[in-house]
């Protein structure tokens, strides 16, 4: 019974550690690996890998949404899929990023949030925050991607004029993943961070320039590790349900929350 995380780049992913440890602790015969999908490669190639399920990461979450035969839950509203089940030649899509993110910030109880970026992860974050009655503003480099956020207040970098402070500022871009870039120019980002209560970067496993800047301003920070764990737990539950495998959810939570 094989599963994998699909993306590009993918070598940095800690998802195999989480899922394989859960398999071990639960005594379930499964294996979870990584697969580098080239950007010019057909997404349907994944059908030939003989996987039972997969997690989808950058930059394929929207491609996955458009490639699935059926979409379930909040993924339909978001337009992005991060969890797939392969069943009788069909691909079934779900999104665990949204709830996985919200579980990280619910205790903050923010009134509003600024999202930097407009990709698949931004969609998940924006829709779950809206569902929880939190006001959302998005800012992105180009206007093209913002067309997918018609029900939100949106700006491009050159038109952004913040009206109010934001409790929560979230970086959903790859800035800082493989480089030393900020997701927004420092002269614009610093004043926003000074008035925020939490800076959240979806990137995990490294101190990004975004988080470094936030810490220098002495505001609370969080990387994407907790979100990674939360969404992995939710995805694991979907994987096992699809295989009609029952397990102790308490052991699942403990196995993933303490391995990283």
Question: For residue 147, how many other CB atoms are within 10 A of its CB?
Answer: 9
Name the active-site residue from 61, 106, 123, 195.
61
Residues belonging to the binding site for shikimate are 13-15, 57, 82, 97, 204, 231
One DSSP character per residue, 10-76 reads -TT--HHHHHHHHHHHHT---EEEEEE--TTS-GGGGGGG--SEEEE-TT-HHHHHHH-SEE-TTHH
Closest CA to 63 of 115, 7, 11: 7
> Which tokens go with 216?
């220098």
Closest CA to 198 of 91, 98, 112, 120: 112
Is residue 147 flagged as an active site residue?
no
Residues belonging to the binding site for NADP(+) are 117-121, 202, 224
Residues belonging to the binding site are 13-15, 57, 82, 97, 117-121, 202, 204, 224, 231
Question: For residue 203, how many other CB atoms are within 10 A of its CB?
Answer: 24
Residues in a beta bridge with 221 = 199
**How far apart, in whole angstroms, are the C-alpha atoms of residue 173 and residue 90?**
30
One DSSP character per residue, 112-130 reads EEEEE--SHHHHHHHHHHH
Catalytically active residues, by annotation: 61
């Amino acid at each position: 019974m094989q599963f994998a995380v699909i993306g590009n780049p993918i070598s940095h992913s800690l998802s195999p550690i989480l899922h394989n440890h859960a398999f071990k602790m639960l005594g379930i015969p499964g294996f979870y690996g990584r697969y580098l999908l080239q950007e010019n490669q057909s997404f349907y190639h994944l059908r030939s890998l003989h996987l039972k399920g997969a997690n989808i990461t950058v930059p394929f979450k929207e491609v996955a949404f458009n490639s699935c035969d059926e979409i379930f839950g909040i993924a339909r509203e978001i337009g992005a899929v991060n969890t797939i089940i392969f069943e009788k030649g069909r691909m079934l899509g779900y999104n665990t990023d949204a709830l996985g993110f919200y579980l990280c910030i619910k205790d903050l109880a923010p009134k509003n949030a600024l999202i930097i970026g407009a990709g698949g992860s931004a969609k998940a974050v924006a829709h779950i925050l809206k569902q929880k009655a939190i006001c959302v503003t998005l800012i992105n480099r180009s206007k093209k991607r913002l067309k997918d956020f018609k029900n939100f207040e949106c700006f491009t970098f050159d038109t952004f004029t913040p009206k109010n402070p934001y409790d929560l500022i979230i970086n959903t871009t790859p800035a800082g993943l493989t480089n030393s870039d900020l997701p927004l120019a420092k002269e614009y980002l610093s004043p926003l961070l000074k008035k925020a209560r939490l800076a959240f970067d979806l990137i995990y496993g490294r101190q990004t320039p975004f988080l470094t800047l936030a810490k220098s301003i002495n505001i609370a920070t969080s990387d994407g590790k907790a979100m990674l764990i939360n969404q992995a737990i939710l995805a694991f539950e979907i994987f096992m349900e699809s295989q009609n495998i029952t397990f102790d959810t308490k052991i699942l939570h403990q196995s993933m929350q303490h391995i990283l």
